[in-house]
A and B are shown apart, each in its own frame.
Chain A
């Protein structure tokens, strides 16, 4: 029987990253993936004959530069498309602000609505850039063991000094001010135009169950702008579709002799007297290894695979208290023709659109989630991926993929069903109709994924794409719990590397990279 040094559970981006790095360092690694293909939520699929979509994510906000380097992703075939237009934020009556890669153009777009705001734009983005730089350094390190920080740990955090040297301790103070802020507070400090204010706020609520009036949305906004190089709402498309990112990683991994088994569902992480020694597959097969790394979320890793009775009471309580609360739904429309976005030039459609006329609009959408309902007027971000990947749809036909907030996993007094999904779909189409008047008539097919569907399809608890909400109480040394935030767990030889660890979600691979470094220690 083959023996492995390391078994990685889950072939999502972070699982692949950890496996590749460990493979590169000479470990014999096996990846076990329950689905029939790799990639996790970095997934593209044909959702109706002839039409393909990126199931969960259409874009990448940032990829850890260390990852690009160590796995040489550029030369190994990862092609990132950096669009000219980063985002178009749509308001009422064809009003919209366009965010360009070219800052001057963005300023012009803002100036249409407020001269004053346009003048502050450059200051604002350099402010955000400055604060994000602190996070960039923070993200490269495993979180410290708090509160009892030793000298060794402090020395290990030296790299944090470089942004402090650059920006002074005022920078730290600003970070401490902005991270706990709510969006209207940040907006009040900078801008007057509501369309601009709300567009900024959308970055703070990305994939959260909270609305813009929630403290801590400031942190989420900064998280979206790590490595964004001063570009607000920065995005990248992956050439070939989002799954291509995973495919490239898979090829890299295999080059380092990583073995990948798909349709290999792990049903238990086996422990004996608090030492982890292997896994059991659904087939009943047991595989042993010196170390096990789980890329799954904490709930799946510890409750479903290790089992609550193998956890100490305190740790079990901590794991049980992690909040997921997936609130994001996805909908994919197969369209008979190219949609016309009111007021937007057809040449400018290769980007992300958001519908957000005001902060209050976003907040009202979030109110529904608070009461376990679906919103009448959801917050929608959409992309037309078929414009970027011609093979995503037949000629002259198109795909429109939208991310919907807020669609709470926990509905009040009911559960997700086809009729509720229909209702949500209607609310989405009603909302889209305001900016794409002909949308209803060109929809050929609809594919909608509720948070429950996302949970079932991808095995992510409560459909939370970040494996745990990105809130300040689940940040850094608290992620996923104060006792397991260094990628190690209270169970010997069991490691975690998914987005449920520091620094959280997004297809950036930092979790996987940091985890690999800890395992190699």
Chain B
């Protein structure tokens, strides 16, 4: 099996077994939801319903209910759209790019981040749809044969590219997510007690059974989908940036937009992942799987992408001056010093300065600080889109038509509503879906689990052999104890049977005799498995009391007798463990 470097921090803390992982993830699904969940769900639902109401009002009345005017023809609608699409970038990035790079820490966050992506892109898609004004003719964006002289959609237009990019992204992202969910739904299905939930999860799991061939296919499908999704992530936000970059508006007409938007999207996406995951890990008690190291890794991604965004802002400023185009220069001077200076200042502070604080290890490993910064970044990234869109438009070529943008209650209501709906979906997901990929976590348990890395994992309890075949347990023992036995070979000296008996009797003399009748379960001592328990019993050690009396000398004596576990008893401090167990 693949071994991971010992200096790498473990990804799963403490000692977990395969069954523990199932239990830990399924606990929140099978148990009752806490009161906080209902309260949060209620609040989110109210906000969401208010948003739906605003959308219905908008559809019934018209786009005039938004605060748009002749000069600022695009404002919150497209700002919110780009903001949500940006947030929707982290999930696929985590699951696809990090899968290709074989980053195992993604296992703790990919499921939840992909769910976030899907819900965020869903919210994003709402804006172009309602922005059409007449939602019921929304199908006109598809190239469908029609009666208008066979008028086709314009394949030269970035707005049409957007339609294809967003719908491809949403559907491929969903498929990727769902294929990963199948085995986990099967786990929940096989554990479900209630007939209704059994039926539901049975349908959701599509009858997944975990055959070897299916797992073989599963792995290749995940890999290929990751390979397809990786360029897709980059293409989606590039295409979103083309909405602006292919126009001739000063401040939009720049070639730097695609990489700058993609970096910004990853930046805001990871910030949203942090916000949500910090709550989820706490609420669902998943600290062992998603701990400070994961948060730190994500903070490093935030720092790097934040720096890319910062460099992009400064490049943009420099080029606006260096190009010598006065309209371009004016657009940027107006952004920084015009009536919208406060939006520009918030964007610069939140997106350029705040991620730089992550250079300090103390700050990037602080959960509270991370939570705070993640919110700051999300606010900053909303302002970035607002600045790009509104400040480039509001003072156009004709000073007589210069104006400001004032959002109406419908603008605000729809925005708040999408946040509400997003959390409605997310809370439902956290309640009924496995938030961690159960199957994938099991594959990294023995590689990156803390107890397996530092060797403190108890011996695999050998199941009672069906036939008392002498050779059977030996095969297994050789496998699991291979690293220990290696160091033992040099320390082990040939000792005669007589000498061994002498040592055993001197050991028992020191520890006091025990009897097989008043026997304790020595397997409770970490480091003692059934095999070792047998060996100890053979020597004459039966009780915790005997073990608790052991000192360095006795450990040495024991090692010299058994010859298989040098230093182990001392390292695991059996004596202390035994006296603790004794006092229980």
Answer yes or no: are A and B bound together in one complex: no
Residues of A within 8 A of B (CB): none
- B interface with A by C-beta (< 8 Å): none
